[in-house]
Structure 1
Amino acid sequence: MPMIEFSNLRSLDDLWPQLEAQVDLPLHFGYNLDALFDVLSTDLEGPLTLVWHQHEASRTAMGEDAYIALLMTFEDAANARMDMELHLQ
C-alpha cells in the first residue's frame, strides 16, 4: 500500500515540500488545502495510507486553526474514498 508521510509540520509551508518529495503533483497544483484535497481524494492511485507523525507537536507549532484545517482536509479526503487510511502518530 503506497504511503505518504508527514513529520515536523510547523506550518502549512512545511507540508508542500514533503508532499512534493513523495507525490508527482499535477502542473496545475495550487498549494492550498483545496488542491491538497483534490490530489488526495481523486488524483492518487490507491490504496493509500497517509501518516502524520508528531501530529500533536504540529498542533502546538501550527496553531489550532491551521492544524484543524489540515486535519479536516486529510479526514475529508480519507472519507471521500474507500481505499485511503489516515494514521495520526
Structure 2
Amino acid sequence: MNIIVCRLPDWKLEMNVVLDGSKITSSDDFYRQLAAGLDLHSYGRNLDALWDLLSASVERPLSISWVDSERSRDVLREEFQAIVAVLDRVVEFDRAARWPDKFHYTLL
C-alpha cells in the first residue's frame, strides 16, 4: 500500500466582490448586491448585520470593489457614510488582529 502525502499551497485565492454603484439606489440595493456577490441567500440587511458578516462570517482574503461609488454616495448620502464607516471598522479589526489574510475595499 502506497501513501501519498500532499502539501497544500500556503496561498488562498482572494474573493473579490464587485458592487455596481450605478444600480444602487437604496441601502437595500447595496445589501442585495453584497449578498449576491458573496453567494448568500439571506442575512440581516442592516449595519449591525454587515459588521457581523464582514468581521466574523466570511473567509479572508476578501476584497470589495465599489464601482461608481460616487453615484452611490450622492444617492445614499448618510447611509453611504454609515456603510463606509462599517467597512473601515472591518479593515481596522483585521489589522489589529494581525491576520495574514485581510479584508479590504476600494471605492472606484
Q: Is 2:72 the partner of 1:58?
A: yes
Q: Is 2:20 the partner of 1:12?
A: no
| TM-score, normalising length: structure 1 | 0.85
Aligned residues: 87
Over residues 13-34 of structure 1, what are the superposed CA-to-partner deviations in whole Å (9 max), with x where a residue is unaligned? Answer: 111221221224486x321111
User: Which amino acid letter does the alignment assign opposite residue 88 of structure 2?
Assistant: E
Q: Per chain length, whose mean CA-contact separation is higher, i.e. which structure has more relative contact order (CA < 8 Å, sep 6+)? A: 1
Q: Which runs of 5+ in 1 are unaligned?
A: none
Measure, in 2, the Cα distance between the counterparts of 1:55 and 1:72. 14
| TM-score, normalising length: structure 2 | 0.71
* TM superposition outliers: structure 1 runs of 4+ over 4 Å: none
SS at match of 1:46: coil
1:73 to 80, 83, 86: 86
User: Which amino acid letter does the alignment assign opposite residue 84 of structure 1?
Assistant: F
Identity of matched residues, %: 30
Q: State the shift of 1:6 in Å.
A: 1.2
Counterpart of 1:46? Answer: 60
Structure having the higher Rg: 2
Counterpart of 1:30? Answer: 44
